[in-house]
Amino acid sequence: MPAKYIFVTGGVVSSLGKGLAAASIGCLLESRGLKVNLMKFDPYLNVDPGTMSPFQHGEVFVTDDGAETDLDLGHYERFTHAKLSRDNNWTTGRLYEQIIAKERRGDYLGKTVQVIPHVTNEIKAAMKKVAQDVDVAIVEIGGTVGDIESLPFMEAIRQMRQELGRDDTLFVHVTLVPFIAAAQELKTKPTQHSVKELLSIGIQPDILLCRTDRFLAKELKSKIALFCNVQEEAVITAKDVASVYEVPLVFANEGVDTLVLKYLRMEAQDRDLSKWEDIVHRVYNPKDTVTIGIVGKYVEYEDSYKSLKEALVHGALAHNLKLQLNWIEAEGLETGNQSNSNDAQLEDYDGILVPGGFGKRGIEGMLIAIRYARENKVPYFGICLGMQTACVEFARNVVGLAEANSSEFDQATPHRVIYKLRELRGVEELGGTMRLGAWTCKIEPNTLAHKIYGKLEVSERHRHRYEFNREYEEPMVAAGLRISGSTPDGTYVEMVELPDHPYFIGCQFHPEFKSKPLEPHPLFSTFIAAAYEHGSKRRAEKDVAAVEMFHRPEKVSRR
């Protein structure tokens, strides 16, 4: 049977959680035994978000096939089993790039190339491609209704309804119903306007997901239904929740999946959300807290490390722990050049993590944090840049190569322990030099990495230019570094660790892209476990010290 389509649009303001809504609908449909795929159209002109600043756009999510995509694809993968690739994320820029290449080749046979039908046809073809072999394809349109850039996408989904009919297409509109404090009232006007905007381009939404901070009363739902021309049952309260993993449960309570099946005339088995219920139960009933310090560069804007944060949450949930994340601006550690003040900043963490990043800013601060973790036996997890900086720190402070560096930060360093292998091999500097997507990593037996994964071959996703320089392998290994993972041909170093440390590991790849709440990534769950153990031990020692202080006779008598 051909796939059915759910189109998700957003109104009123951005950041209403359209991506999470799409992912949660996918999750609900999967819980009823259906096969789903999800895709996102981003109306901006960049070909992909790869070159955009993390401050502008948040994290760049990487798929197995090496596509640099929107972070909403991360939600899709965390909430469903959909296999995502570059086909699942299209920007206006990439669509036009493709159309213009065709035009130059003469594929349009002399015709005038126009937004309708040529751009809209490309958009529809992209949707149909991801809809092969699934029951339902969920298509999210980025931006907000009324944006000039999103018009071709809106037109394409309008045409899809025209082409396929009501039973095979469904329009879900995510909108805002704000509570106005002065009036002590929820207001429906923004939603009415947003739907009017949609109607003006020929789209009548079927379901309204109303983002709000409180439940919508029946009268309010009737009012929205009347003004927006939808069934009352299709006005859904999408109430704010403390954990994103609760959204599928909230939607289930509101009957979103039942409604979707009814409108799309589909049969499906009863929903089974028991695993999600268990996750949410853990979120609200942790046995204790684990505190992790992330020392990085883009820490003011948490969306820059979206998957990382979620992966740490998954790791904590696996041990029934609440995650306390502290974002430490690496540059702050550099300026606090007194080593004591830096130590004071770092000592309260159960574990320290240096995440991925680009450019020189904050590197010295990261090295300070890594040295602290190494010397004080605090669990350390270095991801991509965090592995590279761990190698630089080790080369400088253990091997004794004081000027060791990555050639990314110092071109003239006499000891480039991290360098651009591809550049040396004659690959051009600009574009195409990143190692992207899934690469196989062979793991050395009897290493921490082996213990963590429980196997000797894994596949993980990459996004970086620089690599460990094997010329420094010998002195580094002699000084105590262990190379525990490499590409099967041995060219690239993928994992390093310190055997004389309870938990010190670095990986050149980004495991956070593959962690899911129901399948926490082993690197994150073991890091959290090690951190929790370290923290518990440290707290116990502190308690003993405090008790000892209290019982010292001279202290007591002086009071």
Query: One of 384, 391, 441, 507 is an active-site residue; which one?
Result: 384
Amino acid at 103: E
Report the C-alpha gap between 67 and 253 in whole angstroms: 35
**Cβ distance to ligand GLN smaller for residue 225 or 434:** 434
- Please give the angle made by the CA atoms of 246, 257 and 320, to the nearest 5 degrees: 20
Residues between 204 and 263 with contacts to ligand GLN, criterion CB under 6 A: none
Site string for ligand GLN, 397-416 (x = CB under 6 A): -----------x--------
Contact by Cβ (8 Å): 356, 299: no
Q: Is 319 a catalytic residue?
A: no
**Cβ distance to ligand GLN smaller for residue 30 or 59:** 59
- Region of 11-19, 163-171, 320-328, 461-469 interacting with ligand GLN (CB under 6 A): 461-469
**Residue 184, by phi and psi: left (phi above 0), alpha (psi -120 to 50) or beta?**
left
Binding of ligand GLN by 437 (CB under 6 A): no
Site string for ligand GLN, 363-392 (x = CB under 6 A): ---------------------xx-------
**Cβ distance to ligand GLN smaller for residue 100 or 424:** 424
Q: Is 512 a catalytic residue?
A: yes
**Cβ distance to ligand GLN smaller for residue 16 or 387:** 387
> Within a 13 Å sphere around the CA of 91, how many CA atoms are in the beta-carbon half?
15
Q: How far is the CB of 420 from ligand GLN (least distance, A)?
A: 8
Report the C-alpha gap between 423 and 414 in whole angstroms: 17
- Region of 53-61, 114-122, 352-360, 443-451 interacting with ligand GLN (CB under 6 A): 352-360
Report the C-alpha gap between 540 and 8 in whole angstroms: 51
Query: One of 118, 415, 464, 510 is an active-site residue; which one?
Result: 510
- Region of 120-128, 188-196, 304-312, 350-358 interacting with ligand GLN (CB under 6 A): 350-358
Q: How far is the CB of 494 from ligand GLN (least distance, A)?
A: 13
**Cβ distance to ligand GLN smaller for residue 356 or 362:** 356
Binding of ligand GLN by 465 (CB under 6 A): yes
Binding of ligand GLN by 306 (CB under 6 A): no
Binding of ligand GLN by 393 (CB under 6 A): no
Binding of ligand GLN by 311 (CB under 6 A): no
Query: One of 173, 494, 512, 521 is an active-site residue; which one?
Result: 512
List the one residue from 96, 108, 301, 358 that touches ligand GLN (CB under 6 A). 358
Contact by Cβ (8 Å): 532, 288: yes
Q: How far is the CB of 357 from ligand GLN (least distance, A)?
A: 5
Amino acid at 495: M
Contact by Cβ (8 Å): 186, 178: yes
Sequential DSSP letters for 94-157: HHHHHHHHHHHHTTTTTPPP-IIIIIHHHHHHHHHHHTTT-SEEEEEEPS-TT-STTHHHHHHH
**Alpha-carbon distances of 369 from 15, 147, 181, rounded to whole Å:** 33, 44, 45
Q: Is 384 a catalytic residue?
A: yes
Q: How far is the CB of 301 from ligand GLN (least distance, A)?
A: 16
Output DSSP code: residue 7: E
Q: How far is the CB of 488 from ligand GLN (least distance, A)?
A: 20
Report the C-alpha gap between 508 and 386 in whole angstroms: 8
- Region of 111-119, 282-290, 355-363, 533-541 interacting with ligand GLN (CB under 6 A): 355-363
**Cβ distance to ligand GLN smaller for residue 268 or 366:** 366
**Residue 446, by phi and psi: left (phi above 0), alpha (psi -120 to 50) or beta?**
left
Q: How far is the CB of 359 from ligand GLN (least distance, A)?
A: 7
Q: How far is the CB of 433 from ligand GLN (least distance, A)?
A: 9
Residues between 179 and 208 with contacts to ligand GLN, criterion CB under 6 A: none
- Region of 264-272, 336-344, 458-466, 512-520 interacting with ligand GLN (CB under 6 A): 458-466
Report the C-alpha gap between 41 and 269 in whole angstroms: 30
**Cβ distance to ligand GLN smaller for residue 357 or 362:** 357
**Cβ distance to ligand GLN smaller for residue 75 or 465:** 465
List the one residue from 11, 19, 205, 357 that touches ligand GLN (CB under 6 A). 357
Strand partners, 23: none
Binding of ligand GLN by 464 (CB under 6 A): yes
In the block, tokens 């000039």 appear at 148
Binding of ligand GLN by 466 (CB under 6 A): yes
Report the C-alpha gap between 527 and 317 in whole angstroms: 12
List the one residue from 54, 58, 205, 356 that touches ligand GLN (CB under 6 A). 356
**Cβ distance to ligand GLN smaller for residue 3 or 367:** 367
Q: What is the CA radius of gyration of the chain?
A: 26
Q: How far is the CB of 165 from ligand GLN (least distance, A)?
A: 45
Sign of CA dihedral 264, 265, 266, 272: positive
**Number of residues near ligand GLN (by CB under 6 A):** 10
Binding of ligand GLN by 463 (CB under 6 A): yes
Output DSSP code: residue 306: H
Amino acid at 263: Y
Contact by Cβ (8 Å): 25, 138: yes
Query: Which stretches within 33-109 are classed as H helix?
Result: 54-57, 72-79, 92-105
Contact by Cβ (8 Å): 484, 497: yes
Burial of 540-552, coded b for 16+ CB within 10 Å and e otherwise, reads eeeeeeeeeeeee
Q: How far is the CB of 323 from ligand GLN (least distance, A)?
A: 22
**Cβ distance to ligand GLN smaller for residue 302 or 533:** 302
Q: Catalytic residue positions?
A: 384, 510, 512
Residues that bind ligand GLN (CB under 6 A): 356-358, 384-385, 408, 463-466
